[in-house]
Homo-oligomer: A and B are copies of this chain.
Amino acid sequence: MDNHRIVLANRPTGLVDETTTRIDIVDRPTCGDGEALIKVGIVSVDPTIRGWMNDAPGYLPPIGIGDVIRAGGTGLVVESCSPRYSVGDIVYGTTGWQEWAVASDASPYAVLPKGMGVDLPTVMNALGMTALTAYFGVTDVGAIKEGDVVVVSGAAGATGSVAGQIARVKGARKVVGIAGGPDKCVEVVEEYGFDACLDYKEPGLRRRLHEACPAGIDMYFDNVGGEILDDVLANIAMRGRIVVCGAISQYNATPEETYGLKNTTMLIIRRARMEGFLILDYVHQFPEAQMELAGMVLSGQLRHKEHLVEGLEHAPEALNLLFSGGNHGKVLVVVDPSVTLE
């Protein structure tokens, strides 16, 4: 039986195009001792995947040429040679963009509880890696506190929409989003309950941030980097915290195109902090955070939206949606619709 996989053919210089990846057909893997064979249901499409395609240092090694594209995913255990997994389990792990995956000691999977009342796309969005990134970014790195004025960029995206809502639950006085275009801004306010949303495609973002947050920005959850980060730095409050989660505006940039940040001296003037983090450092705290996130979903405090793309072969185009801003919500690719959590 075949395993269709999407592998890296050439390293892209800007956006991913038809030469970047190719479909590779190999034999379905077998289940070795201590392993489990997984039929992949849904795979995730995240900006960080674009970073792994570069031959550059990162928090994980680059994806090798000819290797399957690294990605989180969920699937069904169809064969188990390990006491950790049972046939019929729905599991979450680093499946990659392929039809069949193998759980092993080197690539462990979490078994998802059934009967939670949430479906698989919801788990991958509101309880998945992007939501966990939002959770630990806001609570731990950003040290959110009662009364904070919070700004979130990429506010219509999978991480940003959750970050703003968690900030609200944790006591933020005002939550302002930044997103691209009027449709997304409406979505951020109406669907995700932000107090306001600024369209960065309109001029004068720095001034509009000042108008929205006249006493300054206490916490900024940054998904985009570049000029927007500079505009926020100009408006940072005394002892403000900038959670450096991502820099999607810069991932496709060549060294010459990379934006040069001019306002970091505001860190001195406002005694502020800019800090990066990696969600993998929090892995032991995931179960507890996911319980809390599930509670927020079920109580309606955490609204979420999935942008489903059908068919593994469309995953590369789906990745570009994130950079063109063409997505609404968490982008997921349905590899096999028969795999469900119910």
Q: Which residues of A contact B (CB under 8 A)?
A: 57-59, 225, 229, 244-247, 250, 255, 258-262, 264-278, 281
Which B residues are CB-close (under 8 A) to A273? 273-276
- How far is B323's CA from A154's CA once the two chains are assembled, in angstroms? 40
Integer count of this chain's copies in the complex: 2
Partner of A267, one of B244, B258, B259, B270: B244
- Say how far A150's CB is from chain B's closest CB, in angstroms: 19
Bound state CA distance, A281 and B265, in angstroms?
18
> CB < 8 Å: which of B255, B274, B277 contacts A264?
B274
In the complex, how many angstroms separate the beta carbon of A217 from the nearest chain B beta carbon?
Answer: 15
Q: How far is the CB of A266 from chain B (nearest CB, A)?
A: 8
- What 9 A-B pairs come out closest when comparing CB atoms? A260-B260, A267-B276, A268-B276, A261-B261, A273-B275, A274-B274, A258-B262, A244-B267, A247-B265
Asked if A264 and B267 sit within 8 Å, CB to CB, the answer is no
CB closest residue in chain B, given A253: B262
Please judge, given known A-B contacts A259-B260, A261-B261, whether A271 and B267 are in contact too, CB under 8 Å: no
Q: Contact at A245–B268, with CB atoms within 8 Å?
A: yes
A200 shortest CB reach to chain B, Å: 18
A225 shortest CB reach to chain B, Å = 7
- List residues of chain B with CB within 8 A of the CB of A259: 260, 262
Can you list 20 A-B pairs with a CB-CB distance of less than 8 A?
Answer: A59-B268, A59-B269, A59-B271, A244-B265, A244-B267, A245-B268, A246-B268, A247-B264, A259-B262, A260-B260, A260-B262, A264-B264, A266-B276, A267-B274, A268-B276, A268-B277, A269-B276, A271-B275, A273-B273, A273-B275
A269 pairs with B57, CB closer than 8 A: yes
Q: A259-B260, A261-B261, A269-B276 are in contact. List 6 more A-B contacts (CB 8 A).
A: A58-B269, A59-B269, A244-B264, A259-B262, A266-B276, A271-B281
* A260 and B268 alpha carbons, distance in the complex (Å): 16
> B278 to A271, Cβ gap below 8 A?
yes
- Given contacts A225-B265, A250-B265, A262-B259, A274 and B271 within 8 Å (CB-CB): no
Which B residues lie within 8 Å of A265 (CB)? 225, 244, 247, 250
- Docked Cα-Cα span, A187 to B244, in Å, equals 38
- In Å, the complex CA distance between A270 and B247 comes to 14
**Chain B residue with the shortest CB-CB distance to A258:** B262
Closest-by-CB residue of B relative to A48 is B268
Q: How far is the CB of A53 from chain B (nearest CB, A)?
A: 15
By a CB distance below 8 angstroms, the chain B residues around A261 are: 260-262, 264
Cβ contact within 8 Å between B260 and A271: no
User: Is B262 a contact partner of A255 (Cβ separation < 8 A)?
Assistant: yes
Contact of A268 among B262, B271, B278, B281 (CB under 8 A): B278
| A148 CB, nearest partner CB in chain B, Å | 18
With most chain B CB atoms within 10 A of its CB, the pick from A59, A258, A270, A276 is A276
Which B residue sits closest to A241, measured CB to CB? B275
> Cα distance A136–B229 when bound, in Å?
28
A26 to chain B, nearest CB (A): 32
What distance in Å separates the Cβ of A261 from its nearest Cβ neighbour in chain B?
4
In the bound complex, do residue A272 and residue B270 qualify as a contact, i.e. CB atoms below 8 Å apart?
Answer: no
Name the CB-closest residue of B to A265: B247
Choice from B57, B58, B260, B275 contacting A272 with Cβ under 8 Å: B275
Q: CB-nearest residue of chain B relative to A245?
A: B268
